[in-house]
Structure 1
């Protein structure tokens, strides 16, 4: 059964397409299935499992926060400890799912008929926002970046096409070029830091700077599960294998493939969490 947990951990580490919330929900569900199939686990063993999962994706805090909330709910003295930790895991999963839905519902108020939205990378909360807007019969268009490396923007474009939303796919380098056409920028978030920064896919800073240059609003969707105790100087920014980049041969050629970066909230118009819209103070 250890192999099953190793597989779960490998899937978590190798997932390049899912945003922080989606990845956390997938992992919590897989963890529940794993624990359900296992004999009762001790509190110490659960702590070890949680630590392994939390450190696997350090730039994405939602999973670690969810696991921490789960552990705080557990009472080791309970007679049926297994049933308790499975039940509480389901409750935390639902808390996270509900928070994400509430973010999308609040964020839908940002969209007005006929707007053009620019988004970078793939966020399940941003996708949920688009679905909410469609349910409200909003008419809007989306511009999405390829979001290289990883190219998760291709999946976003396909999902929007299935929803019958007009979508334009651009290279990451074209964000400044298209910004004059954009009415609002909507971004996901992997971690919200304590020193007026947040973490998201590399390229988000360029989008935020282009938005500021052209005077276009830039909003970030981030529920409380994204809150981190770290600063922009402390957070680990995950790097992926260099072989994802099409490198030419050459002794002097090196590659850097960092997937995440920090963005100052001074570039942000506001944050949307499960409680509503929060306008950022300049």
Structure 2
């Protein structure tokens, strides 16, 4: 088998560890490059599994891929990841179109590629919270969104059709997303606005994350992610369907079934 040539294994790994802007979708796709570099440099599979789990402990796509590495050759898995990522994007775009004319304006947090896909699919006006710490929400300014201070969320939610956010992980009973997502969902519920979460099936994992990633802000360690109870989520849009009642085991199972199929068809 030929191995795609690219950056070195350590360079890709360090980029993933040091990143402070991107979400889980970006990490999932970067894993394809990491695995290819690992094969090229003959990195032991056990080392790759350990390294992947250390990037963002508990992040669902990383844990899922680390687990799959015990069953699938790294190069086959990297190719399957690329295929799955592209088809997941197509599925989310198609399923988002079901909300055309129902969501014309939305409030969001952080910078989610899936929230952007939704906004583009339905033609919604976007109001994005700055999303501190980190301020990733400011990236929406380059995509036609209005960026506003975090504490103004009640005003803008009241004047929108829905809150739409991405998600870094789907677990039994809750979704993990950027810190600030829980107060956003609670405020939306208080104001009678629906909460729509958009994420790919490769982020579904029944087992609870072992750790919550933290960052240092002014000398204080703060968690970078919130847990949003599924009871606060009105609609979950994924690449495999739209759900108002969420079966995490089903979504996780469909992901694993499909990506294993891709490992045999991409060789």
TM-score, scaled to structure 2: 0.81
Instruction: Indicate whether 1:257 and 2:222 are aligned.
Output: yes
Instruction: Indicate whether 1:208 and 2:177 are aligned.
Output: no
Q: Deviations over 1:174-232 (max 9, x none)?
A: 112221101011111111111x111110000011001100110101112221112323x
SS in 2 for 1:150: coil
Q: Paired residue for 2:136? A: 152
Unmatched tracts of structure 2, length 5 or more: 1-6, 247-267
Instruction: Indicate whether 1:89 and 2:78 are aligned.
Output: yes
Q: Quick one: distance in 2 between partners of 1:94 and 1:63? A: 17
1:104 to 86, 90, 93: 93
User: Displacement of 1:276 after TM fit?
Assistant: 1.4
Q: Paired residue for 1:237? A: 212
Larger Rg over CA atoms: 1
Q: Measured at CA, do residues 49 and 30 of structure 1 come closer, stay the same or move farther in structure 2, by a change above 3 Å? A: closer
1:189 to 167, 187, 196: 167
Q: Deviations over 1:115-155 (max 9, x none)?
A: 1111101112222223334xxxx3x3110011111111111
User: Displacement of 1:173 after TM fit?
Assistant: 1.3
Q: Quick one: distance in 1 between partners of 2:82 and 2:157? A: 37
Q: Paired residue for 2:41? A: 38
Unmatched tracts of structure 1, length 5 or more: 75-84, 162-166, 248-253
How many residues are aligned here?
240
Q: Measured at CA, do residues 150 and 210 of structure 1 come closer, stay the same or move farther in structure 2, by a change above 3 Å? A: same
Q: Quick one: distance in 2 between partners of 1:95 and 1:215? A: 35
Q: Paired residue for 2:13? A: 9
